[in-house]
């Protein structure tokens, strides 16, 4: 991983915990973007599940140089820690005027972990315009557990985002985010390169924590999204509180006393 560390701030990690993703727009250099098309055309070598990054991506390889970009490496270290393993990688290609879109889904089997998460890197080597059918994401959906395409019957949710971005953009997603590749209605082939990373250390205070007490942290964690139901939607904030308690190493963190209230179990006392 990198020699130059650009770790995320507490507010940025809190935004990831609330939204389920982080955008790094246009951070990959033009030369690497141009190289990507030849690499993708030649095909990527397979990587066994759970392979350490240096073994999965040899020194000097395209993927290694991508994940060692200071802003990418710093963000990955902030979220999954140093020395993560590569779960898998794959190039998703959408042909021009392709007539179908992926159903809304979360990747892999249902995942009940509340104290850990994987991160999926999605890299776009070219500009993605609206008619190219970029990745659709439902912000704030990642902690509502589903099994793969259980959400596939949903066509549109209020507040969903359909990616448009400059060339060289990287998205970092919580593994549970609801998403799907959209139909490509343009005349241009669209590529997206995905790498899933597994942590190998506890995900506790891995980022730059100098702003841990900044009010912006609580503001990020307390935000809501348009698709949330008036009552059930509040459970998403409760799930964030639980996750933030683990990530921050603060077992007493709370918002509006929600988690404290429902976890209150006074010890029984014997009466003389």
Q: Residues 206-264: pLDDT tens digits?
A: 999 999 999 999 999 999 999 999 888 899 999 999 999 999 999 999 999 989 998 88
- Domains contained in the chain, CATH given: 10-198 (2.60.120.620)
Q: How confident is the model at residue 271 (pLDDT cuts 50, 70, 90)?
A: low
Two structure tokens written together for 258: 């929600």
Give the residue carrying structure tokens 């141009």. 34
Mean pLDDT along residues 90-117: 89
Q: How confident is the model at residue 4 (pLDDT cuts 50, 70, 90)?
A: low
List the beta bridge partners of residue 4. Answer: none
pLDDT tops 80 at residue 2: no
Contacts of 170 (CB under 8 A, 6+ apart): 23, 24, 27, 28, 72, 121, 122, 123, 124
Reduce the DSSP state of residue 211 to 3 states and report it: helix
pLDDT tens column, 172-198: 999 999 999 999 999 999 999 999 999
Q: Which of 64, 106, 116, 109 is nearest to 89 (CA)?
A: 64
DSSP 152-172: TT----TT-EE--B-TTEEEE
The torsion angle over the Cα atoms of residues 137, 143, 149 and 150, rounded to 10 degrees, is -130
pLDDT tops 80 at residue 134: yes
């Amino acid at each position: 991983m990198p020699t130059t560390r650009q770790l995320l701030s507490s507010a940025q990690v809190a935004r990831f915990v609330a939204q389920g993703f982080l955008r790094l727009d246009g951070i990959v250099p033009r030369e690497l973007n141009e190289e990507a098309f030849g690499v993708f055309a030649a095909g990527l070598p397979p990587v066994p599940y759970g392979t350490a990054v240096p073994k999965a991506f040899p020194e000097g390889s395209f993927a290694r140089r991508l994940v060692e970009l200071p802003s990418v490496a710093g963000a990955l270290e902030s979220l999954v820690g140093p020395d993560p393993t590569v779960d898998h990688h794959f190039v998703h290609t959408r042909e021009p005027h392709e007539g179908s879109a992926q159903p809304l889904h979360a990747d892999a089997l249902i995942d009940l972990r509340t104290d850990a998460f994987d991160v999926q890197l999605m890299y776009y080597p070219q500009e993605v315009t609206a008619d190219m059918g970029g990745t659709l994401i439902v912000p704030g959906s990642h902690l509502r557990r589903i099994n793969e395409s259980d959400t596939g019957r949903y066509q549109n949710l209020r507040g969903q985002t359909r990616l448009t971005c400059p060339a060289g953009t990287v998205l970092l997603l919580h593994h549970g985010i609801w998403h799907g590749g959209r139909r490509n209605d343009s005349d241009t082939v669209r590529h997206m390169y995905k790498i899933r990373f597994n942590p190998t250390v506890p995900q506790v205070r891995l980022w730059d924590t100098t702003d841990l007490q900044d009010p912006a942290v609580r503001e990020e964690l307390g935000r809501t999204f348009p698709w949330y139901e008036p009552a059930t939607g509040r459970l998403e904030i409760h799930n964030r509180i639980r996750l933030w308690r683990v990530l921050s190493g603060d077992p007493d963190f709370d918002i509006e006393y929600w988690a404290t209230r429902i976890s209150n179990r006074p010890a029984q006392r014997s009466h003389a």
